[in-house]
Chain A
Amino acid sequence: MTFPVGRSDVATSEAAMPPQSGLILDVQGISKRFPGVQALSDVSIQVRPGTVHALVGENGAGKSTLMKILIGWHRRDRGEITLKGQVVDFHEPKQALDAGISIIQQELSAIGDMSIAENLFLGREPRRAGAFIDYPGMNALAKDAMAELELDLDPWQKMKTLSVAQMQLVEIAKAISYEADIIIMDEPTSALGDREIEHLMASIRKLKARGTGIIYISHKLEEVFEIADEVTVLRDGHHIASMPTGETDRDGLIRLMIGREAKGFPKTNTPTTQPLLEVEQLTREGEFRDVSFTLHKGEILGVFGLMGAGKSELLNALFSVTRATSGSVTFQGKRLRARYPSQAMRNNMALITEDRKATGLILPMSVRDNMAISTLGRHTRFGFVSALGVGRVVSSMSRDLDVRMASPRQLVKFLSGGNQQKVVLGRWLLTKPSLLMLDEPTRGIDIGAKAEIYRFMSEFVDQGKGIVLASSELPEVLGMSDRILVMKAGRMAGILSREQASEEAVMQLAV
């Protein structure tokens, strides 16, 4: 194993510490405590140049925290980091960047009002005359950086005009363009389609050939097995195992991640024939057209479609976030005339949106306040909220959904994605809905939390209620739905029963 050439400091430090040779990064015994939660306890990870080291674990296992310690965002409580043979101690992300570590963050971190090029080269703008930004030069460099991922966008374009997938690609391009020795990729593919993921995999292979070490975090285990040489499993902040990917398989990893056997989709019951929601010829100009279906009590209706097919738009119209231009909706036997989400909510409908950070949660508020906010009226006497009553329902709901938190007073922004999603779910369940609409409910959520959400969905429809599940994850839709409505470019491409539905049949309709 050799180091990438062209770095003189490597040679000298290697001589100084011969036993460490072969490693580009050696992280030993890291511990980190946040108020109320031990995020990491004695975690180690080693990366060799020219390899991909995958880091897997459920949400909240501590993966992102470990990475943030590596780049100097968080300070560690204990442990030692050796980079290219030298012990390092970063206080600021800038120091990590200068030392050759770049990162693709899990949370998209685009600056919306700046251009693609300005985002790509933020903090290292090419200059002319020493002081001024060289815009033409920067835009040309931006084009090159994007070409690496076959991304063809105008560098002048403002970041906020891009789709989520494009933003994610820009961030990947940014991390790669530092030509760092270590690139950390924290769930880089959560918003990407298959083609884009392929482009990413191709450039990761190029990076490997160049000798770059990559730490790859993903919930998609297929990706891990496709690209990673080694894998480390974390669970609840503990280091569970590290091994070459060849020595394990999907089920083995899942077992290590959740500490128990993996279960499939728990969909068991059969729906009734009583209609719950009847939708006829629903149209919203410019978004979707002539959608008709009937959802029965006890049924889960999957809505599948590629990005831009109109799934979210359909759900938004059903929940009166937007108004349909024509068509009718009958809910529990009555023609629905809601004009605002609050009215839909009073009709016992609930919508859990795709982007929980932007539209679902109030991040700087506590778990308790987030869960109770839609139903405070029920716990109000003479204008005052009964803290006791709220506390009781929130505690019992958190227990039902198994929300992992330090206390109900913990701020939601400090929870992992899966637990945040459970908080949103809990809030809506407290409104006692009879129809639940879920938009990408398991995006960016680990396998354990996913399984719990699936189990919960089954229990929910068992009580004679209904679910509309919009998702672009095919296995999920196939596994959980009684029937599948496939959308394509704003139109209904067909409805498949559970028996008819196969991966191929659905894709045939969707593309």
Chain B
Amino acid sequence: MKQARSLRIRIFLVENGIILAFILLVVALTFSSEFFLTGPNIRNVLRQASINGLLAIGMTFVILTAGIDLSVGSVLAFGGMIAAIFASSSLGEQYPLYVALPMGLAAGAMLGMVNGSLVAFFRVPPFVVTLGMLSIARGLTLISSDGMPVSRLSPEYIYVGQGMVAGIPVPVLIFFGVLGLAWLLLYQTPFGRYVYAVGGNEEAARISGVNTRMVKFTVYAISGCLAALGGIILSARTTAGLPQAGVAYELDAIAAVVIGGTSLAGGQGRLFGTLIGVLIIAVVNNGLDLLGVSAYYQLTFKGAIIVAAVLLDSMRQR
């Protein structure tokens, strides 16, 4: 009886080692910095986590199908830029939020669909397609803004990045809202099962009547759309659409997914793991800031965490 209990605890720990690591991290930081566990700092961490979080959710869908999306950083910049252009007076008049927002999202989704069609219908390897898109989307951003920041955004637009509802930053609300929707989609609808099935065994999925191409197409569209949403939040927070926004953001997004235990080989992983991965990255950044560690060391340290997480995972597989 007691033995069975301890075994179950052990299994839980192995399966959820990443959660344990996260808790330890939080405890350690609480003791080393009195500022860490305060309302303003928590709010700050979450606000920073929310943009990477949106990218990582999209990335989870893509990676579950055994794909990859390297273009999210650039697509983020493009979506944010398009929305900012509509929300500023660049086009002669300032469009309201309900125009600017959908325009930005549609721009991102469109680039995602281009990725998706090339991967799904033309069978170009995702790595190549999205590497190309990384460059294309950045170029489109520079073209559409003439390489200059787009500022003087409408106040309602800026609210999306800086506003608060009941003491919670709007980006955080958006992130958790999207997380909830993604959870529903992934675990409660057939589409979510198809995402796992395509990554787990594409041939079997197709024989079972699953439209595997449509599934692949859709995950890239989702990723593009969520990247644009991240871009909108970022431009609203910085009160300008910046042509160089989001450079190298794909790395943190992929890192969060991988730290969260999702297999790059597809078919295996959890959205909850991604959430933890996103939080770990945000807390590490924040904690190293609080401890006064230089940004150079931060980068090195973060890389080490990613490798350690994957190492942990491969040990668990054995």
Contacts and interface: CB of A to CB of B under 8 A. Distances in A.
Interface of A: 71, 73, 92-94, 97-98, 103, 105, 109-114, 118, 122-125, 127, 131-133, 174
A503 to B, nearest CB: 37
B120 to A, nearest CB: 14
Given A111-B201, A111-B204, A111-B267, A123 B188 contact: no
B197 A122 contact: yes
B209 A93 contact: yes
B31 to A, nearest CB: 38
A111 B209 contact: no
Contacts of A98: 209
A113 B210 contact: no
A94 B209 contact: yes
B200 A113 contact: yes
B204 A110 contact: yes
Contacts of B190: 123, 125, 127, 133
Given A73-B207, A123-B205, 8 more contacts: A93-B207, A111-B197, A112-B200, A122-B205, A123-B190, A123-B210, A124-B209, A132-B184
Contacts, number: 70
A124 B189 CA distance: 11
Contacts of B43: none
B90 interface: no
Nearest to B201: A111
Given A113-B267, A132-B188, A94 B211 contact: yes
Given A109-B204, A114-B193, A131-B189, A122 B210 contact: yes
A443 B204 CA distance: 22
A133 B189 contact: yes
Given A111-B267, A131-B189, A105 B200 contact: no
B203 A122 contact: no
Contacts of A132: 184, 188-189
B268 interface: yes
A132 B187 CA distance: 9
B267 A112 contact: yes
B208 interface: yes
A123 B208 CA distance: 6
User: Secondary structure of the B side of the interface?
Assistant: helix
Nearest to B203: A109
Given A111-B201, A111-B267, A114-B200, A71 B189 contact: no
Contacts of A124: 209
Contacts of B207: 71, 73, 93, 103, 105, 109
A2 B215 CA distance: 40
B196 A114 contact: yes
B206 interface: yes
Contacts of B194: 122-123
Contacts of B210: 94, 122-123
Contacts of B204: 105, 109-111, 122
A133 B188 contact: yes
Interface residues of B, number: 21
A112 B208 CA distance: 15
A309 B249 CA distance: 53
Top 4 A-B pairs ranked by shortest CB distance? A109-B204, A123-B209, A111-B200, A94-B209
A93 B210 CA distance: 9
Contacts of A118: 193
Contacts of A103: 207
A355 to B, nearest CB: 16
A167 to B, nearest CB: 11
Contacts of B267: 111-113
Contacts of A97: 208-209
A174 B208 CA distance: 9
Contacts of B197: 111, 114, 122
B58 to A, nearest CB: 20
A133 B193 contact: yes
Contacts of B193: 114, 118, 122, 125, 133
A133 B190 CA distance: 6
Most buried by A among B203, B207, B267, B268: B207
A90 to B, nearest CB: 11
Contacts of B188: 132-133
A417 B194 CA distance: 29
B189 A113 contact: no
Nearest to A127: B190
A65 B190 CA distance: 30
B200 A93 contact: no
Contacts of A131: 189
Contacts of A125: 190, 193
B271 to A, nearest CB: 14
Contact of A111 (B189, B196, B211): B196
Nearest to B196: A114
Interface in B225-241: none
Interface string B135-176: 000000000000000000000000000000000000000000
A186 B209 CA distance: 18
B212 to A, nearest CB: 10
A179 to B, nearest CB: 14
A71 B209 CA distance: 10
Which of A94, A111, A131 has the largest count of B CB atoms less than 10 A from its CB? Answer: A111
A37 to B, nearest CB: 20
Contact of B201 (A92, A94, A110): A110
Nearest to B204: A109
A132 B190 CA distance: 7
Contacts of B200: 111-114
30 contacts: A92-B206, A93-B208, A94-B210, A109-B201, A109-B203, A109-B204, A109-B207, A110-B201, A110-B204, A111-B196, A111-B200, A111-B204, A111-B205, A112-B200, A112-B201, A112-B267, A113-B200, A114-B193, A114-B197, A118-B193, A122-B197, A123-B190, A123-B209, A125-B190, A125-B193, A127-B190, A131-B189, A132-B189, A133-B189, A133-B190
Nearest to A122: B208
B182 to A, nearest CB: 14
A5 B36 CA distance: 72
B155 to A, nearest CB: 37
A71 B208 CA distance: 11
Most buried by A among B197, B201, B203: B201
Nearest to A126: B190
A97 B207 CA distance: 9
Residue of B197, B200, B206 with highest tally of chain A CB at under 10 A: B200
Contacts of A93: 206-209
A109 B208 CA distance: 10
Interface string B80-95: 0000000000000000
A49 B193 CA distance: 34
Contacts of A71: 207
Contacts of B205: 111, 122-123
A462 B81 CA distance: 78
Contacts of A112: 200-201, 267
A280 to B, nearest CB: 30
A114 B203 CA distance: 15
Contacts of B201: 109-112
B278 to A, nearest CB: 22
A456 B205 CA distance: 39
B265 to A, nearest CB: 11
A434 B207 CA distance: 44
